[in-house]
Amino acid sequence: MRHIRIFDTTLRDGEQSPGVALSLQQKLEIAHALARLNVDIIEAGFPVNGASEFECVHKIAREVQGPVICGLARTHKLDIERAAAALEPAEKRRIHVFTSASRVHLEYMLKKTPEQVLELTDAMVRYARTFTDDVEFSAQDVMRADFDFVLRLYETAIAAGATTINIPDTTGYGTPLEYGALIKRIHGEVVRGRDVHISAHCHDDLGMATANSLAAVENGATQIECTVNGIGERAGNTALEEVVMAIYTRRDHYQAETRINTREIYRISRMVERYTGMVVQPNKAIVGDNAFAHESGIHQDGVIKNKETYEIMNAEMVGREAAVLVLGKHSGRAAVKKALQDLGYELGESQMQAVFQRFREIVDRKGPISTEELRALVESETAPTAHLFSIEQLQFFSGYGMLPTATVRLKTPEGEVTTTAIGDGPVDAVYKALAEAIEIQPDLELYRVEAVTGTTEALGEVTVKLKLGEALATGHGISPDIIEASARAYLDAANKLVAGQAAKHPPSLDEVQIKGIVR
């Protein structure tokens, strides 16, 4: 069967999602998770886009083994030089050079004639080849471009040394029939049997990114560019989990395969959801909460008798648990450790101690917890955060006709601090008391509360985003009590801000413009 390469751009195109700002440590963790997932290529970032972006690509290139590490570059010498420098430590490296193909892009963004674009493409692909033998070339907005120009553009790139040509439907404009036909023409009229890979890069503006990418595979593409959970600018990109499982489940149709370790899919989906703050919708294919749930009596009866009556794949295949795992206050440390191992978590002694301690606190208050609650607990407790501030005590009063009041006692680097504040509600009062205790006044950019499962006894999971100057940090908190979970989430983000672990919020017009022209 043909091997379809999976090119993951979660850390580049995915991070362009509005409101997402990943820290360097979070990006590194996602990159290691992508290596465990066994993706073929990781597009780690856009090195010319500032010192922090360069450092991130360089660190991933140095520390992450297995996949090809890729850096993005415009058809500018400086972009290519910065990408080459950032990728220098990588065992396997790729420079991804891009320009545009459509008339509207050439006229209004690049402000260049077609001949100038062809000349730059030839020169810059050749320049990139002086740094690495693995060069990918993309032309934005191909679906709305003149095919004769597209043909000349990709011919030029291949002649200059491009080993992969990427065909971006940058605006999500194409249909599967149209995009598949375009790939077929490029395969027959441009590649013409040469040793050059065709890559599909689709956006989901009309909800067809996955379908378009699969149509590309049917018509000769050997690489798909995608993101975990389908995140990305506007409506997002092709979802990695969807194309991988579609090719696996329907390999009889596509006559192709990927090398993805599918049992890591759900784990990395959860990681990306938590770090970006972008919630996976319950009915999302493969990784949504309802993807393997059966509530209808008829469906339940069929699945009990034989899973194949209503399931074309099973939850275990993507790293999920089909059966409900319940642990309670009588469960010992060994039982919790075994349950975590069954879920794919291997924790160090200190991490295990922290998780078990929180586990006992929670089950003593709320009773047994489910598999999903255990996942949320371990991911919350093992997230890399500097613990400069921690809650010792939390008390709050609120009700109809009462003034919401909160008192917090924190352990800080200077010792214990106790503060009291009033607010518009209990969460507001707690956050004002916490801000006074830690002596910073960040802006609250996002506050979201969810039940980990669908019962009234469920753990509450709170996500917040705090902004302090140019720094943006995401925090998470887990507790049976929503107010306590809110306080824990706030302190999680505040610890990152104070410890310098937050991501920089893109501040300048130049940076915004650079991000704005990337596919």
Q: What is the DSSP letter of 401?
A: T
Helix (H, G, I), strand (E, B) or coil at 474: strand
Residue 391 sits at the vertex; the CA angle it makes with 333 and 389, to the nearest 5 degrees, is: 105
The span from the first CA to the last CA of the chain, in angstroms, equals: 30
DSSP string, 419-463: EEEE-SSHHHHHHHHHHHHHT---EEEEEEEEESSSSTTPPEEEE
Contacts of 344 (CB under 8 A, 6+ apart): 263, 264, 267, 319
Question: Computed over its alpha carbons, how large is the radius of gyration of the chain?
Answer: 25
* Count of Cβ atoms closer than 10 Å to residue 518 Cβ: 18
Which pair of structure tokens corresponds to residue 380? 């919350």
Asked if residue 510 belongs to a known ligand binding site, the reply is: no
Contact 233, 12 (CB under 8 A): no
Helices 265-276 and 371-381, axial angle in degrees (round to 10): 60
**H or E element at residue 127:** helix 114-129
Q: Is 58 annotated as a binding residue?
A: no
Does 495 count as an annotated binding residue? Answer: no
Q: Which residues pair with 226 in a beta bridge?
A: 8
DSSP class per residue in 309-328: GT-SS-GGGGT--SS---B-
Instruction: Answer yes or no: is 253 a known binding residue.
Output: no
Burial class of 320 by CB neighbour count within 10 A (0 to 12, 13 to 18, 19+): buried
Please report, in range form, the residues annotated as the binding site: 13, 201, 203, 237
Please report, in range form, the residues annotated as the binding site for Mn(2+): 13, 201, 203, 237
